[in-house]
Amino acid sequence: MTFRERLQAWRYNLVPDHAIGEILQKRWTDNAIPFLALVIVVAGFGSAIPGFFRLVSLQDSTRQLGEFSLVVTGLTVVMLGGGIDLSVGSIFALSAFASVAAFFIFHLPTGLAFLAALATGLIFGAVNGYLIGFLRLRAFLTTLVTFIIGRAIYDILVVSFGAKVQLSDASSDLWDFIGDGTMAGLSVSVVAALVLAVVTHVALTRSRPGWHVLAIGGSRRSAHNAGIRVRRMVFLTYVFSGACSACAGFLIATRLSGAGPGTGQGLEILALTAAVVGGNSLGGGRGSVVKGLMGAVIVLVMTNGLIRLGYGTGTNQMVLGLLLAVAVTIDIRWMKNRHKVLNEVYVAPVYLKLGETQSAAPGSGTPYELNNRLSQADAIGLGELEGPEDVILDRDDHLYCGTRHGEIVRYFAPDYTRSEVFAHVGGFPLGLAFDRAGNLLSCVGAMGLYRIAPDRTVTRLSAETRRSWTSIVDDARLRDPNDLDIAPDGKVYFTDSTKRYDAHDWTLDSIENRATGRLLVYDPATGKTATLLDGYRYTNGVTMAHDNRSVFFCESWACRIHRYWLEGPKVGTAECVIRDMPGYPDNINRASDGTYWMAWLGMRTPSFDLSLRHPGMRRRMARRLPQDEWLFPNINTGGVVKFNDAGEILQTFGDLTGVSHPMVTSMREHKGFLYIGGILNNRIGRYKIEGANPDWTANDAYWGAGS
C-alpha cells in the first residue's frame, strides 16, 4: 500500500463524514439557528446591561417573559394548525380588564377574577374559532377584525370604568402573591408558562388531538380526507389560544393591579415575531412549542434590553424589523436548501482495497470460469414478473416469488403458466423461506420480517432490533432486511444489509461501501430480535449449513462468504470462508448433494475496484454528477456458483448472452431443477441440473419428509 493510499484510508475510514448527513436528517437541526440566535441575544444583552443576570433583575424580566410566552404558546398552536391569530393582544387586554373589574369593582375573590379572565378568553377564542373553523372565514382578515373590535371594546371599558378601579380598596394576599411573589425563586407567571409549555408540547407531539392539529397544518385537505374533523380542531386551536392569552392577561392584571390604555398594545406583532423568529412556519405544519419559547425569549430580551440600554423611540421597531426579516430569510432559505445539502453530503464513501481475484472469464481455466449454461433455462412468467428477488417452492411444487410491487406471486405446478397474487405485503419482498408449519417467511425491504400463513394472513414478526449506542439516526429500525433462513429450533437468522440507505437505494450503499450490514436473529419464542454481528459490507444471503451447526452469510460489496457458528468451539464468532471472489454474492441456498448454491448479482471490474481505493473520487462523483453517470458495480453479468462446506468452488453457471439471466440474486434447487430469480429480471428461470437428485426438496431437507 502506498503512502498516499494509507493517507486516504485514514482520512476516509477514520473521519466520520457520514455523521454530517445523519445529523442533518435530524429534525432538531431546525432549532439550531433560533437557538444560536437565542444564545447570542442573551449573551450580548447580558454583557451589555449591568446586572442583567442578577436574581432580582431576572425575576423582574422573567415575569413579563412568562406572560409573553403564554401568549406565544397559544399563537404557536394556532399557527401549527395553519391559522393565525392577530387578536391575541385584544384578548389579553380584555381578560386583564375582566379580572381587574371582577377583583376591584365587584370585590370578588382572586379565583373568581381568574375565572372571569379565562371565560373572557374562551368566549373570544370561541368566536374566532367559530368564524374561522366552522364558517371557514379567512383567519388573517377575521382575527384582524375581531382584534379591532376587541380593542374598541377595551378602550370603551377602560374609559368608562378606569376611575372606579383606581378608587377601589380591594386587596388580597393571593392576588398580591400571584403578582409579586415567587416560589423557589420562580414567579407564578414563569411557572405557569413552563407548565403550559410542557403540557402543550406533550399534547402536540404525543396525543391524538396534537397530531391532528399538525396534520391539518401540514395538509388541510389530506387531513380532511383522512377523516380528521378539521373544522372542530381548528375551532379548538383558537379557543386554546384565547385561553392562553387570558391566563397571560390575568397575570398582568395581578402584576399591575390595573388596566391602562396601553395594555396589550402591539402584542400581536411581538407575538407573531416571536413565533416566527423561533422557526414556526406560517401556513402551519412545522414548528413546536420550544421554538415559540425560544422566539419569545429572543424578542423580549431584545426589546427590553434596548429600552434598558436607553435607546430612543423607534430603535426597538428598527431592531425588531431587522430581526424578523433576517429570521424569516434564514428560516425559508434553510428549509428550501436543507435537502439539497443533505443530498450532496449524505453519500460519504470509505476506502477499501479488495484482494486480487481469480479471473471468471470463459476459458481462463480457474474454478470461477463462467459458462453459458443459464441461457438455456426455461422462462417462467416472462414479461409478467417484475423483480423476483427470491424464489421458493412449497411441498406441492408451487413456485413463489416477491415482486417490486410488494406482492408475493404464486405460480401453479406443474407447468407454471398460471399465477395468482398469493398475498400483498407492501414494501419490497426479498428473501423467502418456509418454516416447519408451512408458513412463508419473507424479509421485506424497507419494512421488516413478515410471515404469510397458508391462509394468506400477513403478520409482522419484527421490524426492529436493539439500537446501538453510537447511532445518530435510529438504527433499531430494519432498513433493508434482505435474506433469511430458519433453524430447526424455529429461530430466524436474517440479514439487514445497511443502516445508511433504504432498500431501493442499495446502489448508493455500493458507492459508499461503508460496513453497516448486520446479521440478526429473531426468536419466535420471545418475539424479540437480537443483533448477532454488525459492521459488514452489505450482508446479503443467509443459509443454514446442512448440519445446522453454523450459518453461512455473504458480504456483497466485499465479495466474501462468512460462516457464523451456532455451536461448537467457535460459537458466537464468524470466520471468513471464501474471500476475494470475482463476483458480488447474493442469496445462498442448500443444494441436494450437501453443498451450497450462491448467486452472483454482478461481477467485479478493475475500474470499480480501483474506485474503491479512491473514496475522494467517489465523493466528488456523488456530489457533482447526475446519478445516471455514476460508476456503479457491474450488474450486467452474474451467475450461480456452487461451493462446499470447506469453501471450495465446485461449479459455476453463467449467461454470457446477457439475455435470460444477466443478474442473478437467487436460485433454489427443487426436484432436480434450479429455479433462478433476479431483482431486475422479468422472469424466473428453470434449469435442469445434470446429475441432481430428482426427489430432493428443501422442505424435506429442512423439516423432514411429509411432516
In the complex, which residues of this chain contact another protein (CB under 8 A)?
Answer: 82-84, 131, 135-142, 144-149, 151-153, 155-156, 159, 219-221, 224, 230, 265-266, 269, 272-273, 276, 282-284, 311-325, 328-329, 332-333, 336
Closer CB to another protein, 242 or 445, in the complex: 242
CA distance 241 to 255: 21
Closer CB to another protein, 194 or 269, in the complex: 269
Q: How far is the CB of 284 from another protein (least distance, A)?
A: 7
Q: How far is the CB of 271 from another protein (least distance, A)?
A: 12
Closer CB to another protein, 138 or 460, in the complex: 138
Q: How far is the CB of 312 from another protein (least distance, A)?
A: 5
Q: How far is the CB of 153 from another protein (least distance, A)?
A: 6
**CA dihedral in degrees (173, 174, 177, 179; nearest 10)?**
-110
Closer CB to another protein, 224 or 338, in the complex: 224
CA distance 171 to 5: 82
- Closest-CA residue to 327 (of 293, 299, 290): 299
CB half-sphere exposure, 520, CA atoms < 13 A: 37
Closer CB to another protein, 114 or 147, in the complex: 147
Copy the grid coordinates of residue 437. Answer: 408449519
* Phi, psi values for residue 670, rounded to 5°: -155, 115
* Phi, psi values for residue 507, rounded to 5°: -70, -35
Closer CB to another protein, 190 or 327, in the complex: 327
Q: Name the maximum alpha-carbon separation found in the chain.
A: 111
Number of residues that this document lists for the chain: 707
Bridge partner residues of 517 (DSSP): 536
CB 557 within 8 A of CB 584: yes
CB half-sphere exposure, 327, CA atoms < 13 A: 30
Closer CB to another protein, 156 or 256, in the complex: 156
Q: How far is the CB of 211 from another protein (least distance, A)?
A: 18
Q: How far is the CB of 311 from another protein (least distance, A)?
A: 7
The side-by-side arrangement of strands in the sheet containing 528-536 is: 481-486, 492-496, 517-523, 528-536
Closer CB to another protein, 272 or 664, in the complex: 272
Closer CB to another protein, 89 or 541, in the complex: 89
Q: How far is the CB of 282 from another protein (least distance, A)?
A: 5
CB 665 within 8 A of CB 585: no
Copy the grid coordinates of residue 652. Answer: 459455476
Closer CB to another protein, 101 or 139, in the complex: 139
- Closest-CA residue to 249 (of 100, 385, 141): 100
Q: 522 to each of 425, 445, 462, 482, 572, how far by Cα in Å?
A: 19, 16, 7, 14, 15
CB half-sphere exposure, 488, CA atoms < 13 A: 12
Q: How far is the CB of 328 from another protein (least distance, A)?
A: 5
Q: How far is the CB of 117 from another protein (least distance, A)?
A: 21
Q: How far is the CB of 214 from another protein (least distance, A)?
A: 14
39-48: long-range contacts, CB 8 A cutoff, minimum separation 24: 41/297, 41/298, 41/301, 41/302, 41/305, 42/297, 42/301, 45/301, 45/302, 45/305, 45/309, 48/305, 48/309
Closer CB to another protein, 303 or 442, in the complex: 303
Q: How far is the CB of 144 from another protein (least distance, A)?
A: 6
Question: From start to end of 122-280, where are the E strands?
Answer: 182-183, 186-187
Q: How far is the CB of 353 from another protein (least distance, A)?
A: 47
Q: 669 to each of 145, 388, 640, how far by Cα in Å?
A: 77, 16, 12
Closer CB to another protein, 79 or 408, in the complex: 79
